[in-house]
Amino acid sequence: MQNEPSKPSQISSVPRHVAIIMDGNGRWASSRKKARHSGHRAGVKSVRLSVETAAQRGVEYLTLFAFSSENWARPEDEVGRLMSLFVEALRREVDELHRNNVRLNFVGAREQLNKGLREKITEAEKKTADNNGLRLTVAIAYGGRWDIIEATKAIARRVESGSLTADAIDEAEFVKGLQLADVPDPDLLIRTGGETRISNFLLWNLAYAELWFTDVLWPEFDANEFDNALAYFASRQRRFGNTGEQVEAVGC
């Protein structure tokens, strides 16, 4: 099954998949007496740095939380500026990502986005579809509960149509309907900005992720801080429910 957590025997000291909750843009801007949107703009540089660092360190999958289902509740002006920033960032960054062999994908409730952004997203996904370097997934209008509900609808339809029985539903069948169905589960979750919560990110997929939190605000997140997270990950013994002795016995 593609998105099962790695088994102890497959553990490497570099996470295959890193997920990041990019938080703290607004506070970064307020601390400089600037408007919140300037924090979001400053955050684009940290995205670029994270993509570069992940690729250089041998991470295969990087998933970034850019806008949650709940973020629609923010003031209209902030939401509008964020949507424009996503379009602008795609316009400016996709060629470079493509040159660097990055495959770009988006997850979330795409139908909620405006037409201009949807077009940019489709264009970026098409352009980079055959790249086999870092797989970069950006979550926009994404919520972990929404994702699980959508997967539930997909599996309910299969049962309704008679192609699957209720008793045959297992994890492998269920994950086929999740947004990250073809991506292994994150090994490491990073959250910047000092909060120690998941905020409705990948609720299913984070089941066995190592969690790493930093007070650094997203616009100040850099390669050094990324390396701190990777060092923390490398220091953990991942047991997946086994005992420490069992894990040691398989040579990790």
Please identify every residue annotated as catalytic: 23, 71
Q: Give the residue with the Cβ less far from Mg ion, 58 or 80.
A: 80
Dihedral (C-alpha) 74, 205, 51, 34: value to the nearest 10 degrees?
Answer: 20
C-beta of residue 28 within 8 angstroms of C-beta of residue 217: yes
Q: Which residue has the tokens 């924090």?
A: 39
- Which lies closer to Mg ion via its Cβ, residue 69 or residue 105? 69
Give the C-alpha separation, 232 to 235, whole Å. 5
- Residue 199: contacted member of ligand IPE, Mg ion, none (CB under 5 to 8 Å, by partner type): ligand IPE
Q: In the complex, what is the shortest distance from the CB of residue 143 to ligand IPE, in angstroms, rounded to a whole number?
A: 9
66 forms part of the interface with ligand IPE (CB under 6 A): yes
Q: Nearest approach, Cβ of 22 to Mg ion (angstroms)?
A: 9
Q: How far is the CB of 78 from ligand IPE (least distance, A)?
A: 8
Q: Which does 145 bind (CB under 5 to 8 A by kind): Mg ion, ligand IPE, none?
A: none
Q: Per CB under 6 A, does 25 bind ligand IPE? A: yes
Q: In the bound complex, which residue of the shown chain has the CB atom lying closest to ligand IPE?
A: 26
What does the chain come to in residues? 252
Stretch that binds ligand IPE, among 87-95, 104-112, 161-169, 193-201 (CB under 6 A): 193-201
C-alpha to C-alpha distance for 138 and 41, rounded to whole angstroms: 16
Instruction: Show the tokens assigned to 174.
Output: 């269920």
Pairwise CA distance, residues 39 & 42, whole Å = 5
